[in-house]
A and B are shown apart, each in its own frame.
Chain A
C-alpha cells in the first residue's frame, strides 16, 4: 500500500501522541524517520532500587551555554556551522555537537535554543522503553520488555512474549537486590520491576536477561554502579561484620557476575548521575561501537573499574573519571595550597576541614575548572563551588565510607 507523505505524518503524529510526545517532537520524529540516516542504537532503561534522582537528572539535560562544555575544551564554534536551520552562532555548543561533527544528523536541536532530552531520545538514540517518561503500562510495558530478554534467563511461556532480540544498550538505574534472601536480607524480591498476570519479574532477573542481549550495559548512578544508598548498612546490627543489608542491594556488576557471555558494564557513578557524563559515555559508545564497530576500542578507554576515563572524539577530549576532584580544577584549590580553611559552613576557603571528600573522589564535577563545570544548567555549579564539601557520592562505598561514624568524614559535625 502506498501512503502519501501527509498520511505518513498523520500516522506518525497519532503514534507519537500516544507516546506522549509534543507537536515539536512529532515534527522532529517525522524528519528523523524520513531521513533514516543512521542506525541509532536501541536503548532500554530499567529501574532497580531507585530514588528517581538519576532519571530525573538525565531528563533534565538542557544546556545551551558556551561556558559549559566550551570550558572543558569543546570549541565554541563546533557544530554551530553545520547545524542547518539555526541562526549563525547559535549556542548549540555541547556534547551533541560532537556527534554532529562526526557525522550525525546536522539538524539536531530544536531551532537554535537548546538541546534537550528529546533530542537525545529521538535523534541520537532509539529509546524503546523508559518507564519514568514513557506511557506503556502494565502488560503492554512488560510484554515489550520481555521481547528483549534472553530466554535462557527468563523463559518464554505463559503470557511472556520472549523473542530474544538483540539490542544496543541497557541502561540500569538503581541498585539490584540479589538472591533469595535469608533471615537478614529480603533478596531479589525487594525490587519487582515488571509483572505479567501473576508472574512478577524481579530487577535481578530482568537485568540479567536484558544484559545478555545488549551490546553494552551502562550502570547509571552510584546505586547501579556500587550499591549506593540502598546498600548502606544499619550500623546497629552487627559490630563484628558491620554489614547488614536489609534489602540485599547489589550492583549491576554483581548481578551479572554468575553468568558467562555478558557484555561490558560501564559505570557512570555519582548521586544523582551527571547527565553530561552519561551522554558523553553514550556518545563514546556510538563513536566507537555504532560507528567504529569496535567494542574493544571502547573498552580500552575505561578505568580498571569500568568508568570512562575521558570522552574523546572529533579532536575533543573531555576528562571524566580519570582524576580526583581535588586538584587544579577545584575552585577552592588555591585556598588549599595556601592553607586558608573554611572554619564553618558558609566560609570561603578550602573545605577540607569541613570534611571535603574531593581528594578521595574521582568524578567529573570540577571538570571545566573554576569557571566551568559539567553540571549543566547550573552554569557549572556543583557542591564545592556552592560551599558544600564533597560527600564522595561518586565513590564505591558511599555513603558509609564517608560517614561521620566509622567513615572517612571526621569533620562533618564540626562547624555548625
Chain B
C-alpha cells in the first residue's frame, strides 16, 4: 500500500485467525497517504454472522440449553 492514497473507507473483511466472522471498517476524512498525515474519524467492528441463540432457546426444555449453548 506504499504509494496508494487511501480515501474514504477502508474495509478489512474478513479478519482471519479469530473464531467467528469479523469485519473492520475505518473511515477517513480527506485522504491518507503513507508517510503523510491523515485522520481516521471512525472505526466499526462488525460481526457478520447471525444465528440467533436467544431465539432458538425460546420454548426449548431447559436441558436442551446444555447442548445448544455449547455451540455459541
- Is B truly associated with A? yes
B-binding residues in A (CB < 8 A): 47, 49-53, 55-56, 131-139, 141-142, 186, 190-195, 197-198, 200, 228-230, 232-237, 244, 246-247, 249, 271, 391, 393, 399, 403-405, 412-413
Restricting to B37-72, which residues have a CB under 8 Å from any CB of A? Answer: 48-52, 55-61, 63-64, 67-68, 71-72
- On whether the beta carbons of B56 and A141 are closer than 8 Å, the reply is no
| Closest A residue, CB atoms, query B57 | A234
Tell whether, in the assembled complex, residue B68 and residue A49 are in contact, meaning their CB atoms are under 8 Å apart.
no
Give the docked Cα–Cα distance between A244 and B55 (Å).
9
How many chain B residues touch A (CB < 8 A): the figure is 31
Which of B13, B23, B63 lies in contact with A412, CB distance below 8 A?
B63
Q: Is the interface of B mostly helix, strand, loop or mixed?
A: loop
How many residue pairs at the A-B interface have CB separations less than 8 Å? 124
Given contacts A50-B20, A200-B48, A230-B56, 14 further A-B contacts (CB under 8 A): A132-B16, A134-B16, A135-B16, A136-B16, A190-B51, A192-B13, A193-B48, A195-B14, A229-B71, A230-B51, A230-B52, A232-B60, A234-B56, A249-B51
In the bound complex, how far is the Cα of B50 from the Cα of A159, in angstroms?
26
User: Which of B18, B52, B63 has a CB less than 8 Å from the CB of A247?
Assistant: B52
B52 touches A193 (CB 8 A): no
Contact A234 B51, CB 8 Å, known A131-B16, A138-B13, A403-B64: no
B14 contacts A141, C-beta separation under 8 Å: yes
Q: How far is the CA of A261 from the CA of B63 in the complex (A)?
A: 43
* Chain B 1-45 interface mask (CB, 8 Å, partner A; 1/0): 000000001011111111111010000000000000000000000
The 21 listed contacts between A and B (C-beta, < 8 Å) are A49-B49, A49-B50, A50-B20, A51-B72, A56-B19, A133-B17, A137-B16, A138-B15, A190-B51, A191-B48, A192-B23, A195-B11, A195-B23, A200-B13, A229-B68, A232-B60, A236-B58, A246-B56, A404-B63, A405-B64, A413-B63
A169 to B52, CA, bound (A): 30
